Amino acid sequence: MIARGSGGVILNVLATYAWTGGPGTVHSACAKAGVLAMTRTLAVEWARHGIRVVAVAPGPFDSKGASDRLWPSAELEARVRRGIPLRRFATREEVAEACAFLVSDAASYVTGECLTIDGGAWLGRGILGEDETIPKVRRRRD
């Protein structure tokens, strides 16, 4: 892109556990966190060449691969859905449309950003969070 001199857009794909953590994801979380750092660093470095670098972090979405590996039982699937404030999985089309926006001219002033597409799941709860309020902290009386 630099040699061509015509600019362009690079779209990276992350996972929200890069910043929230999650059991069994250390290898992938480390890699995804590195991709986020790379996205932001290259966005700054390559902006002068007209190259935008952006990322998406999709949350759970309906796919056979995900359901077989991440929520193989109806009980676990229900638990994952409860951890998503919108109470549903994304569709592939929703993720694709967000990607299409980021690489389009409509987002021509966006660079170095990671768009989270997870129905609000990463907002302090994670995909295995329970549908409960945070318990009140008991104060010790002095």
Sheet holding 8-13, edge to edge: 8-13, 51-58, 114-117
Structure tokens at 125: 């709860």
Please answer whether residues 43 and 111 qualify as being in contact, where contact means their C-beta atoms are separated by less than 8 angstroms: yes
d(CA 101, CA 4): 24
User: Is there a catalytic annotation at residue 17?
Assistant: yes
Beta pairing, strands 8-13 & 51-58? parallel
The one-letter code for the residue type at 54 is V
Contact assessment for residue 10 and residue 52, using Cβ atoms and an 8 Å cutoff = yes
User: CA 40 to CA 92: how far, in whole Å?
Assistant: 25
Find the catalytic residue in 17, 46, 89, 122. 17
Give the length of the chain.
Answer: 142
Active-site residue list: 17
